[in-house]
Amino acid sequence: MITLRTSSDRGLADHGWLKSRHSFSFADYHDPKHMGFGNLRVINEDRIAPGTGFGTHGHRDMEIVSYVLAGELAHQDSLGNGAAGAAVSGVIRPGDVQRMSAGSGVRHSEFNHAPNDSTHFLQIWIEPSVQGIAPGYEQKHFDAGSKQGVLRLVASPDGRDGSVTIHADAAIYSGLFNGAQQAVTRELDAARKTYVHVVRGSVAVNGHALQGGDALRFEDESILTIDHGIDAEVLVFDLH
């Protein structure tokens, strides 16, 4: 079964400094039909105004992945990441994937320090397979060439193929598709769930014409096909 979730059907929050579209129930947006999918709990598409951001706040027992589309996101946390002189600057740019394991508890902040430019990014939460672990942080860059016309693994439970390591039974793939020659067909494990989120552009997924912000839920399906992309960026989630 394939179910469409259109961009316009998502929840909307406008806080002035922050504009966010929620794929699943989050904060003041509640829809009992969209509480998550498998162990994927949150996809928020956030736009942060210049010179603003999320103040210091806490998380526990969640794998949090940040995926920047435009601008920069400055991250600081109670592990020391992002502090002056720290080994990890905490600044996330387009092409970067950041993973923060909240585990037993972590506090962090996220800011857009640019004076004129907004930061556009996806905030993704995945329920962990183990709770109470020591919190952790990882950040890697995946250049556009490695994602062109393919699905590049960017997050996985074992960090294979250079992906970031998430403590969850899930994997995230990123792909860029532009033109008729760029297409992917892959077999799916019908016992698992697959969620395809179009980050931007337009693309056909299993024959469904999708635009940025649209998504498809796959259940009991064995084939995924992505083609006919026009400046498209796609995330594919393999889920428990």
What are the extents of the domains in the chain? 2-239
Candidates 17, 50, 198; CA nearest to 119 is: 50
Q: State how far Cα 133 lies from the chain centre.
A: 22
CA dihedral 85, 88, 94, 99 (to 10 degrees): -150
The tens-digit pLDDT sequence of the chain (240 residues) is 999 999 999 999 999 999 999 999 999 999 999 999 999 999 999 999 999 999 999 999 999 999 999 999 999 989 988 887 777 788 999 999 999 999 999 999 999 999 999 999 999 999 999 999 999 999 999 999 999 999 999 999 999 999 999 999 999 999 999 998 899 999 999 999 999 999 999 999 999 999 999 999 999 999 999 999 999 999 999 999
Fold classification of 2-239 (topology level): Jelly Rolls (2.60.120)
CA distances from 203 to 126, 207, 224, 230 (A): 25, 9, 13, 6
SS3 for 29? strand
Residue 180 φ/ψ, nearest 5 degrees: -65, -25
Tally of CB atoms within 10 A around 220: 11
